[in-house]
Structure 1
């Protein structure tokens, strides 16, 4: 039986040579064409590898949870990446937004909760930082759980200058879990956040 290789990263950024970078398009996001070569696991260097990389700002997501009422706040809006979805391009999601260079991650979470859901956030709990699609995109997402009072929340929110039309849903956790099981919550933030919440929900409610 062969021993499993070490899970410590064997290479670093010093083991990649970026030979050229061409900007193909720049609009709301940017698309780069990158030519590179890299060291290989069995020794030596690869040949030239050409990849297109979707370049975008890092993002923050926040799963809004009311432990007193055991309710989750989700937002619904149209998503351009889901226009060919057989069910609907309107997606139920966690509150989220892009990071401005002069903001802390916590400030982004609180700002987006207010803009997208009209919601003031109390405690923020850091869950994970992750790459949602590292094969093609350089974005990193930091995900929080924000503890809130869901009383009075709802309606339609968003910034006109960003063409946002966002509907707020305040739902019992049990119903949200059923939506997840039915495949209605089909984005990474919801899946990661709600599986974390399912494991931690009892301890969060005990903090009341």
Structure 2
């Protein structure tokens, strides 16, 4: 019998349940350590990027956005799906920061990679730190119905940390990004390069549409 941590969780079979525009649901039959086979539901996701854009005054840009599964608007970092083939994550982040917040940045670094809920989904969000920021006219870009409703607000980074710890920020990538940005800018931690290796970037669902 193998020691704990040595078992290979082999996928014996897999069945697609639903393939949508943004996510897919499949059920895998997986070989367990004792020899039995267990079903595991997996939500496939395109993956996403989020941006902690911090200006020279130490304020981070947040957006107030309606999230239908929660049934309310919540404060988040600007973010978006990796839904354009062959687009580098940092380039997707640049695009989303302009489209959602009307902000550009000259300096980009990787903060953290956040697995949204690895018990059932492969969704992972890469959060970037953007600095040397400036504002552009996002209204000139045009927006769909949801993006047209976004409220953009700058918050001192220390206040954003307080909001996270008070439960006023609940989006996982936002909480992680705010805390990580604060750690970096107070000298407690360091960033990685903007093109750092991303081992857990989701790719399964993206391959379905190619």
Question: Shorter chain as normaliser: what TM range?
Answer: 0.7 to 0.9
- Which residue number corresponds to residue 51 of structure 2? 62
SS of structure 1 residue aligned to 2:86: coil
1:177 aligns with 2:166: no
Q: Whole-Å Cα distance in 1 between the matches of residues 123 and 154 of structure 2?
A: 29
Q: Does 1:127 align with 2:127?
A: no
Give how far 1:150 is off.
5.3
Moved more, 71-80 or 177-186: 177-186
Closer, same or farther in 2 for the Cα pair 1:143/1:199, shift >3 Å?
same
Q: Give the 3 Å change call, closer, same or farther, for CA 36–143 of structure 1 in structure 2.
A: same
Alignment partner of 1:93 is 2:76: yes
1:102-136 C-alpha deviation (Å, 9 max, x unpaired): 10011011011011111112211111223221110
Which residue of structure 2 aligns with residue 206 of structure 1?
A: none
Give TM-score scaled by structure 1 length: 0.77
Match of 2:64 among 76, 84, 90: 76
Q: Could you tell me whether the CA contact under 8 Å between 2:104 and 2:136 is conserved in 1?
A: no
Contact 1:71 1:150 in 2 (8 A): no
- Paired with 2:37 and 2:20, the residues of 1 have a C-alpha distance of 28
Query: What are the residue-to-residue correspondences of 1:112-191 with 2, within 5 Å?
Result: 112-149=96-133, 159-160=143-144, 163-164=146-147, 165-191=149-175
The secondary structure found in structure 2 opposite 1:183 is coil
Q: Which moved more, 1:144-153 or 1:56-65?
A: 144-153
Distance 1:102 1:117 in 2: 23
SS in structure 2 of the partner of residue 146 of structure 1: strand
**Is the contact made by 2:18 and 2:25 (CA closer than 8 Å) also made in structure 1?**
yes
For residues 91 and 173 of structure 1, the distance between their equivalents in structure 2, rounded to whole angstroms, comes to 17
Find the aligned partners of 1:51 and 1:190 in 2 and give their Cα distance: 28
Q: Quick one: distance in 1 between partners of 2:137 and 2:167?
A: 25
What is residue 28 of structure 2 aligned with on the other side?
34
- Give me the whole-angstrom Cα distance separating, in 2, the residues matched to 1:10 and 1:150: 50
* Paired position in structure 1 for 2:206: none
- TM-score, with length taken from structure 2: 0.76
Residues 64-95 of structure 1: CA distance to partner in whole angstroms, max 9, x if unpaired? 111x2111101111112212xxxxx2111111
Over alpha carbons, which structure has the higher Rg?
1
1:158 shift after superposition = 7.2
C-alpha distance in 1, partners of 2:184/2:78? 20
2:10 corresponds to which of 3, 17, 20: 17
